[in-house]
Amino acid sequence: MKHSVPALLRILGLLCLCLLPSLASAQGRQLLRNGNFDNLLEGWNLEQHSPALGDITITDEGPDGARAVKIELVEPGDDHWKMGFTQYPIALRADKRYRISFMAKADQPRWLAVGLMQHHAPYRVLASNASVEVGTTWARVTILLRPSADETNGRFSIGNLGKIVGSIWVTDVRMIED
């Protein structure tokens, strides 16, 4: 069977177009909304518990001038969990892994806790809070978490923000079902 080069290229092009949707779904689906803060803080919450007091703003201080959220602890709390940056509700499955990644920097080197938990009493941690170090220059943070149970009202959080006065910046937040 003899085919011309343009005919083979058309066949290859059609084959690629047919495979693209399956390749995209193989990468998983993004579960977080507004991870680049194009819609300001829509979908995001700054959780504060007294005596911790924080402030949150959208800036253009991200990598290459991208939009980012600046989270600042103004008054420290008496425990690290007294302030966190969260998004909910998120449906979580125990038989899935979740690849979480974001760009971050801080005004001083510090440790953040990234985790998945229930967004209702008893607020059980479903995937251990992973400790990630953030420095003073932009860097990508990537972790894998697997929940211990299914949850229809789950919460994603960046925590450990309640004790150390200072600022962190975050952008390009993603949570992909693996």
Q: Are 155 and 88 in contact (CB under 8 A)?
A: yes
* Residue ranges covered by each domain of the chain: 28-177
Report the candidate in 74, 178, 71, 84 with the shortest Cα–Cα distance to residue 125: 84
Beta-carbon-side half-sphere exposure of residue 75 (alpha carbons within 13 Å): 6
Per-residue model confidence as pLDDT tens for the chain (178 residues): 555 545 544 444 433 434 334 344 446 889 999 999 999 999 999 999 999 999 999 999 999 999 999 999 999 999 999 999 999 999 999 999 999 999 999 999 999 999 999 999 999 999 988 999 999 999 999 999 999 999 999 999 999 999 999 999 999 999 999 8
Rounded Cα–Cα distance for residues 98 and 28 (Å): 9
Q: Are 170 and 97 in contact (CB under 8 A)?
A: no
Q: What is the pTM for the complete model shown?
A: 0.83
- The CATH code belonging to domain 28-177 is 2.60.120.260
